[in-house]
């Protein structure tokens, strides 16, 4: 009888192990946070320049989480008035019902102000708050990360981490966007290698998220 009980326990353990292995093998891989590369209409980037921008950002246009769009198609807003009503009005049109919101300097404060505005507008409905935040994409530009006075890193710097403390702010912003919003947006007005390289480094450090889960 003891032998039968031992075999039964081994059988149960084997079934559980196979179920766990099957889950790890067949469950969908976590999707990275969407990244929106928004090209300025005035700049008129050539295909070669667009390719260089993506290379500096360490992005592949063929990846499903990477979106290259024109500035006019993004309909970027800069004020936060009636933000919940505006989100409701968007519906599912455009880019999956997303709202692109321009951040001003300093980003350390304004990214938190943006989140607080959405949370306040959502009221006490936690599910609505989560869904609303997932539809907000903060938009930043290279001008927000100007070199600190006395920095040795110029516009063509290729290693922002070692030369310019602005990289710490870029990395902090990227992580905050990942944890609180529905994507990361970068409005590119020129090929600023310094900042694009810094964002590329920061994006490479993002942990993969099972993004898009809502209530």
CA distance 135 to 81: 16
Residue with tokens 């766990």: 20
Q: Are 202 and 174 in contact (CB under 8 A)?
A: yes
116 lies in which domain range? 32-204
CA distance 140 to 38: 10
Is the pLDDT at 181 greater than 90? The verdict is yes
Do residues 171 and 80 both lie within one domain? yes
The whole-number average pLDDT for the span 193-205 is 87
Do residues 5 and 107 both lie within one domain? no
The H or E element that residue 99 is part of is: strand 99-102
Phi, psi of 147 (to 5 degrees): -60, 140
Q: Does residue 56 lie within any of the structural domains?
A: yes
More reliable by pLDDT, 19 or 139: 139
Do residues 26 and 72 both lie within one domain? no
Q: Are 49 and 18 in contact (CB under 8 A)?
A: no
90-96 long-range contacts (CB < 8 A, ≥24 apart) are 90/135, 95/36, 95/67, 95/69, 96/135
Q: What percent of the chain has pLDDT over 90?
A: 27
The whole-number average pLDDT for the span 125-152 is 78
Mean pLDDT comparison of 6-20, 48-62, 87-101, 158-172, highest-scoring range: 48-62
| Number of structural domains found in the chain | 2
Nearest to 109 by CA among 169, 193, 28, 25: 169
**For 72-92, how does the pLDDT look when each residue is reduced to its tens digit (9 = 90+)?**
888 888 887 777 777 777 665
**If you ran DSSP here, which 8-state letter would residue 77 be given?**
B
CA distance 111 to 150: 26
User: In 43-150, which ranges are continuous DSSP H helix?
Assistant: 47-56, 71-74, 83-90, 107-122, 126-133
Do residues 42 and 136 both lie within one domain? yes
Range of weakest confidence among 1-10, 115-124, 133-142: 1-10
Do residues 4 and 108 both lie within one domain? no
Q: Does residue 214 lie within any of the structural domains?
A: no
Range of weakest confidence among 61-70, 159-168, 199-208: 159-168
Is the pLDDT at 202 greater than 90? The verdict is no
**For 35-76, how does the pLDDT look when each residue is reduced to its tens digit (9 = 90+)?**
999 999 888 899 999 999 999 999 998 998 899 999 988 888
Is the pLDDT at 14 greater than 80? The verdict is no
Range of weakest confidence among 35-44, 146-155, 170-179, 202-211: 146-155
- The pLDDT confidence band at residue 128, using thresholds 50, 70 and 90, is confident
CA distance 34 to 134: 11
Do residues 94 and 165 both lie within one domain? yes
CA distance 176 to 111: 8
The whole-number average pLDDT for the span 14-38 is 66
Do residues 23 and 107 both lie within one domain? no
Do residues 25 and 49 both lie within one domain? no
Do residues 70 and 123 both lie within one domain? yes
């Amino acid at each position: 009888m003891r032998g039968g009980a031992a075999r039964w326990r081994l059988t149960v353990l084997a079934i559980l192990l196979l179920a766990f292995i099957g889950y790890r093998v067949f469950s969908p891989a976590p999707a990275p946070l969407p990244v929106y590369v928004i090209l300025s209409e005035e700049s008129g980037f050539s295909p070669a320049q667009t390719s260089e921008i993506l290379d500096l950002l360490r992005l592949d246009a063929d990846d499903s989480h990477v979106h290259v769009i024109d500035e006019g198609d993004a309909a970027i807003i800069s004020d936060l008035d009636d933000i919940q009503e505006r989100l409701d009005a968007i519906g599912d049109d455009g880019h999956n019902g997303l709202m692109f919101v321009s951040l001003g300097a300093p980003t350390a404060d304004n990214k938190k102000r943006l989140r607080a505005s959405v949370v306040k507008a959502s009221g006490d409905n936690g599910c609505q708050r989560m869904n609303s935040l997932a539809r907000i994409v903060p938009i930043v530009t290279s001008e927000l990360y100007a070199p600190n006075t006395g920095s040795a890193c110029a516009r063509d710097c290729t290693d922002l981490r070692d030369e310019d403390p602005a990289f710490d702010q870029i990395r902090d912003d990227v992580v905050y966007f990942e944890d609180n919003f529905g994507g990361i947006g970068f409005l590119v007005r020129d090929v600023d290698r310094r900042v694009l390289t810094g964002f590329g480094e920061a994006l490479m450090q993002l942990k993969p998220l099972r993004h898009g889960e809502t209530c």
